[in-house]
Amino acid sequence: MSDSSNKKPRVNVRRPDVMELVSAEVAVHYQSSLVEKIKDQGGKLTVGNTTLLLAKDFGFCYGVERAIDLAYASRKVFPDNRIFLIGEIIHNPEVNRQLREMNIVSLPWREIDASYDDLTENDVVIVPAFGAPTHFMDKIEQRGCYTVDTTCGDVMKVWRRVRGYAKDGITSIIHGKADHEETRATSSRALGEHGKGHYLIILTLADTDFVCNYICNGGDKQAFLDRFSGSYSQGFDPDRDLKKIGVANQTTMLKSETQEIQNRLSKAISDRDGSAENFSVFDTICGATQERQDALFEMLKTKMDLLLVVGGYNSSNTAHLVEIGEKELPTFFISDASQIKSLHEIVHYDLHHAKETTSNYAEVFTGKEKVIIGLTAGASCPNNLIEATVKKVFELRGEKL
């Protein structure tokens, strides 16, 4: 069995000779000349009676591109080694399928199981763009594996923030999904260097109001712990650990909601203490997430008949684009073009019931002489899937590109 004395330095696979090969392969798999042409002409394509609008910012962000490049490079640098990946590299089925075809094997990301004990010094472990909890990293180090870390820089900024909170005796209030890979990784860093820090994960404004009421008025401690079961650090005590709080967030949350959560918590601390001295906050929403949300808000100023949002169903940033769109017009969350079945059927993901459903929505394709269709995509969606969606829309409208 390996131990920490056999720890290998993290591998730099971004060698110029390797990246030249990777760039060519990634371009074949994910890029689209059609999408680039639409972008170059202002994000608008009209053919016959059909107009398609593409959001100004959509699809792959830098952090996602970097993670994919590093995963592809790992196979180039280690052609004969076993390569493993903690969970998924990003939340997109097509990208993860490509990695499986390169014989990159996914390890469990919720819990460390026996498969981690089978890792050897010759194995390579890729850390996904979301990062991984500290105990996963410790386990990989113990096994003496090569490590390729693709964690997004924006995620690591949040980690630095929550580590700072822990050092200063501040409890991290993390706006995020408790069972999301990134939030789990962030919460492990909120424990601090010596594991004595504390965190509380909240998701909704209702969660926020519950916490605010407890901050101001106290309450039933057990009821508090029951409500947030699984979403706080070991030994968390709301009577003690809500005295000084600092907000951080999963980087892909809805920006406006995170800001509202910050405002309500700040007010609660001020109402209790007479000032906000015991409240800390720093904006840790990912820049790419903000850009894609802002671009959609801008596109929604134009009248459209329908909005298509393309991305993985488990993609948080994509889901928030759907939430924004569906408040304004019929919005369909699809993983790829194959879900637009015909002029009468769209198979899409229903966020409110957390399941795939089918809608009969023929009037957009058949019932109007002229239609305007909006299209955007989450930060983990490649351009080849966007191209396929564009082509399917015009095909069903009887237009040739």
Q: Which residue has the tokens 């909120």?
A: 190
pLDDT at 399: 87
Report residue 384 as tokens. Answer: 């080849």
182 is catalytic: yes
Q: Say how many C-beta atoms besides its own lie within 10 A of residue 395's C-beta.
A: 13
Q: What is the pLDDT of residues 236-248, one digit of tens each?
A: 999 999 999 999 9
Predicted confidence (pLDDT) at residue 2 exceeds the cutoff of 70: no
Half-sphere exposure of 201 (CA within 13 A, CB side): 22
DSSP output for 289-307: HHHHHHHHHHHTTS--SEE
Average pLDDT of the chain to the nearest whole number: 93
Predicted confidence (pLDDT) at residue 73 exceeds the cutoff of 80: yes
Task: Please give the average per-residue pLDDT across 277-291, as a whole number.
Answer: 86
Q: What percent of the chain has pLDDT over 70?
A: 96
Q: Which residue has the tokens 């637009």?
A: 340
pLDDT band of 401, cuts 50, 70, 90: confident
Q: What is the pLDDT of residues 303-353, one digit of tens each?
A: 999 999 999 999 999 999 999 999 999 999 999 999 998 877 899 999 999
Predicted confidence (pLDDT) at residue 3 exceeds the cutoff of 50: no
- 114: Cα separation from own chain's centroid: 27
pLDDT band of 1, cuts 50, 70, 90: very low
- 266: Cα separation from own chain's centroid: 26
Q: Please give the angle made by the CA atoms of 157, 152 and 354, to the nearest 5 degrees.
A: 105
pLDDT at 159: 96
Rg (CA), the chain: 23
Fold of 10-24+62-152: Rossmann fold (3.40.50)
pLDDT at 365: 67
Q: What's the whole-model pTM score?
A: 0.90
More confident: 366 or 39: 39
pLDDT at 366: 65
pLDDT band of 361, cuts 50, 70, 90: confident
To the question of domain 154-285 being in CATH 3.40.50.12780, the answer is no
- φ, ψ (nearest 5 deg) of residue 375: -145, 130
Predicted confidence (pLDDT) at residue 400 exceeds the cutoff of 90: no
Characterise 190 by phi-psi region: left (phi > 0), alpha (psi -120 to 50), beta (else): alpha
Predicted confidence (pLDDT) at residue 94 exceeds the cutoff of 60: yes
pLDDT at 286: 80
Residue type, 34: L
Half-sphere exposure of 70 (CA within 13 A, CB side): 25
CB 305 within 8 A of CB 364: yes
Q: Say how many C-beta atoms besides its own lie within 10 A of residue 116's C-beta.
A: 19
Domain boundaries 41-61+288-396, corresponding CATH code: 3.40.1010.20
CB 295 within 8 A of CB 55: yes
Cα separation, 127 vs 299, in Å, equals 35
Q: Considering only CA atoms, which of 172, 134, 130 is closest in space to residue 314?
A: 130
List of residues 6+ apart from 164 with CB closer than 8 A: none
Q: What is the pLDDT of residues 125-152, one digit of tens each?
A: 999 999 999 999 999 999 999 999 999 9
Q: Based on the number of CB atoms within 10 Å of its own CB, is 347 exposed (0-12), middle (13-18) or buried (19 or more)? A: middle
Q: Which of 88, 181, 182, 387 is catalytic?
A: 182
pLDDT at 259: 92
Q: What is the pLDDT of residues 149-178, one digit of tens each?
A: 999 999 999 999 999 999 999 999 999 999
pLDDT at 283: 74
From residue 239, how far is each of 190, 193, 217, 219, 223 by CA, in Å?
A: 19, 23, 10, 9, 13
Spell out the domain ranges in the chain: 10-24+62-152, 41-61+288-396, 154-285
Helical residues (DSSP H) of 85-219, grouped into ranges: 93-101, 114-117, 134-143, 153-167, 181-189, 205-217
Q: What is the pLDDT of residues 19-35, one digit of tens each?
A: 999 999 999 999 999 99
pLDDT at 164: 96
Predicted confidence (pLDDT) at residue 280 exceeds the cutoff of 70: yes
pLDDT band of 211, cuts 50, 70, 90: very high
Q: Do domains 41-61+288-396 and 154-285 have the same CATH topology?
A: yes
CB 373 within 8 A of CB 304: yes
Predicted confidence (pLDDT) at residue 187 exceeds the cutoff of 70: yes
